[in-house]
Structure 1
Amino acid sequence: MPTTDLCDKYYEEIITGGTVRVLAPAFQVYGKRCSFSGPVTTLKVFEDNSLVRAALEQQGDGKVLVVDGGGSLRCALLGGNLAAMASTNGWAGILVNGCVRDVEEINAVDVGVRALAPHPLKSFKRGQGEKDVAVVFGGVRILPGEWCYSDMDGILIANKKL
């Protein structure tokens, strides 16, 4: 179901700050999959994509990886190789509060990606960050196990499958 229809159907919950929240329209669209949805797995990292790689190496089973990179615009947390890995391992999509690189490669892969901007510099590899924690960005708090719905009109987070 398109995010616009979900917004119409769950309008009261959105307005009251209830079970459905809308992220600020700050994210660019990448990847072949223009719309995706699935249960959320979260990461909180800063300029280090070690945990991103570790997560995408696992079977995604239709999940959405939500990466809070602190909004950093100084390096990329996801590139073409990791996007291809995500597709191969069954991830529905990746939402990055940060940057991506290898945009042409990502756009050739059957996975949905949302990120703030492209950046050519790769991230550090320190193995730092947290997995399956609450993250806050785009004006929305996102918890592991919630549901992400994304298409060309925007991104919604719901506390359950809609």
Structure 2
Amino acid sequence: MTWIKPSFLWMMYRSGWGTKEGQETVLAVEITRDGFDWALRHACLSHYVRGLHPDRSAWQRDLKRAPARVQWDPERDLHLRPLPYRSLQLGLSGEASARYADEWIVSISDVTPLAHEIHALVGDGELDSATRLLPQEHGYPAGEELLAHLSS
């Protein structure tokens, strides 16, 4: 499974600012909106939600068939502490993973030096400077019909 993590700070939490073993390189991958929307339309929640799914068995069948899955994980602050709202993590497998690699990728940038620079500023207590360096992130303008099957 390949995971798309649209939140920079959540990725820093996951990779330990690009210092965890096997995660020393942090890449920013830009993909097409059509591709991201396709993945959302074909995704299943990674966990069962009573009322959203007919029953646990139906959810399990959907999860096995879905080429993408969605997790909602706590967003993180500059100290990588959880915030009271969640960010989407989008897992791709099978057809979605192939489309991602072959069709959706627009650009790939190594942001490891940026991650290390921001981390150093946070360590030095320079939170305003660190904040100014964060990549600009905006809420995704997805219509309700695109996310209705993914809200818990």
- TM (normalized to structure 1)? 0.23
Greater share of strand: 1
Question: Whose helix proportion is higher, 1 or 2?
Answer: 2
For the pair shown, the structure with the greater C-alpha radius of gyration is 2
TM-score with structure 2 length normalisation? Answer: 0.24
